[in-house]
């Protein structure tokens, strides 16, 4: 047997929810680009102070790892 719908559901905002100072769409651009958070160790954070330096280093590593010509060993 189903419960009857609650009469508490109203379209009015409760008094404790005050969004009058809020900014609509403040983070919309950030969410459009997606979010990917990766935690790195503190000693690595010192070497890579911003996301650009991390991305550049990872791109270089991927380029090295995916080279088609195998290196000759001496």
What's the rounded Cα separation, in Å, for the pair 26 and 58?
Answer: 30
pLDDT for the residue 70:
66
What tokens does 23 get?
A: 């900014």
The model's confidence at residue 9, banded by pLDDT at 50, 70 and 90, is: low
How many Å apart are CA 71 and CA 8, to the nearest integer? 71
- Region 14-29: mean pLDDT is 86
Q: Running DSSP on this structure, what letter comes out for residue 66? A: T
| pLDDT at site 71 | 66
**Interval 23-71: pLDDT, tens:** 998 888 887 787 777 888 999 999 998 889 999 999 999 999 998 766 6
Determine the length of the chain: 74
Q: Please provide residue 47's backbone torsions phi and psi, each rounded to the nearest 5 degrees.
A: -75, -30
pLDDT at 7 over 70: no
The owner of tokens 């719908």 is 5
């Amino acid at each position: 047997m189903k419960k009857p719908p609650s009469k508490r559901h109203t379209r009015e905002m409760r008094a404790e929810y005050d969004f009058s100072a809020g900014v609509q769409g403040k983070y919309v651009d950030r969410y459009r680009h997606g979010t990917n958070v990766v935690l790195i160790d503190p000693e690595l954070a010192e070497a890579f102070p911003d996301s650009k330096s991390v991305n550049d280093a990872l791109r270089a590593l991927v380029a090295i790892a995916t080279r088609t010509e195998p290196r000759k060993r001496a």
